């Protein structure tokens, strides 16, 4: 959605070319100002096919053109390569990806946190995993996201971990 997030012509959202996001990103106006383009893009993503070269070309163009530029909510270093991004997108599929992005783009202020900690995948399956320690509980945002992800048919799991053994440090 890079081109939509940074699209010109939205009044009063860019004051300098060095901004990492438009000024309306965390407001209700973000979606309203871009509704037609966002809805069209989400519909396009739903129809993405894993073997569709359009998907590969589209994502590759964004990666190659903007990789490394500051964008709020995006960490380019999460992926080692473009191939890794394409592998994950193909694995997740258009319907789930459109649902996740649609949820975020319509209310980024409230949905930017709470997504599970991990995404694990191979060429045929994936899982989103929220990791919780012994005295850790799910936040409201995490519960909302887990419910939404389950609605979208995403394989999501809460993994409770505990220490197998503890060692005392002696100074």
Q: What does the pLDDT read at residue 50?
A: 62
Which of 111, 143, 160 terminates a domain? The answer is: 111
Same domain membership, residue 8 and residue 86: yes
Identify the bridge partners of residue 119 per DSSP, sorted by sequence position: 128
Mean pLDDT calculated for residue range 79-101: 92
Mean pLDDT of the chain: 90
Same domain membership, residue 166 and residue 143: yes
Which of 84, 111, 138 terminates a domain? The answer is: 111
Q: Which helix (H) or strand (E) holds 41?
A: helix 29-46
Give pTM, 2 decimals.
Answer: 0.86
38, 104 Cβ separation under 8 angstroms: no
Which structural domain, as residue segments, surrounds residue 84?
1-111
Same domain membership, residue 92 and residue 23: yes
Identify the bridge partners of residue 121 per DSSP, sorted by sequence position: 126
**If you write DSSP's letter for every residue of 104-141 in order, what string do you get?**
HHH-HHHHSS---SEEEE-SS-EEEEEEE-TT----HH
Q: What does the pLDDT read at residue 171?
A: 46
Same domain membership, residue 82 and residue 5: yes
How many angstroms separate the Cα of 159 from the Cα of each of 47, 92, 164? 32, 20, 15
Q: What does the pLDDT read at residue 162?
A: 83
Which of 64, 91, 111 terminates a domain? The answer is: 111
Same domain membership, residue 157 and residue 73: no
**Strand duo 118-121 + 126-132: pairing:** antiparallel
In the chain, the N- to C-terminal Cα span, in Å, equals 52
Q: Which helix (H) or strand (E) holds 166?
A: none
């Amino acid at each position: 959605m890079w081109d939509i997030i940074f699209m010109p012509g939205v009044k009063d959202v860019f004051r300098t070319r060095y901004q990492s996001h438009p000024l309306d990103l965390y407001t209700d106006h973000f979606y309203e100002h871009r509704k037609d383009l966002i809805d069209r893009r989400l519909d396009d993503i739903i129809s993405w096919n894993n073997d569709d070269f359009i998907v590969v070309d589209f994502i590759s163009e964004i990666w190659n053109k903007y990789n490394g530029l500051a964008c709020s909510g995006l960490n380019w270093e999460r992926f080692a390569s473009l191939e890794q991004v394409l592998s994950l997108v193909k694995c997740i599929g258009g319907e789930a990806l459109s649902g996740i992005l649609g949820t975020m783009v319509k209310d980024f202020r409230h949905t930017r946190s709470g997504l599970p900690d991990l995404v694990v995948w191979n060429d045929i399956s994936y899982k989103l995993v929220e990791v919780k320690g012994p005295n850790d509980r799910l936040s409201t945002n995490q519960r909302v996201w887990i419910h939404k992800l389950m609605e979208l048919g995403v394989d999501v799991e809460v993994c409770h971990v505990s220490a197998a053994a503890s060692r005392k440090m002696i100074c």
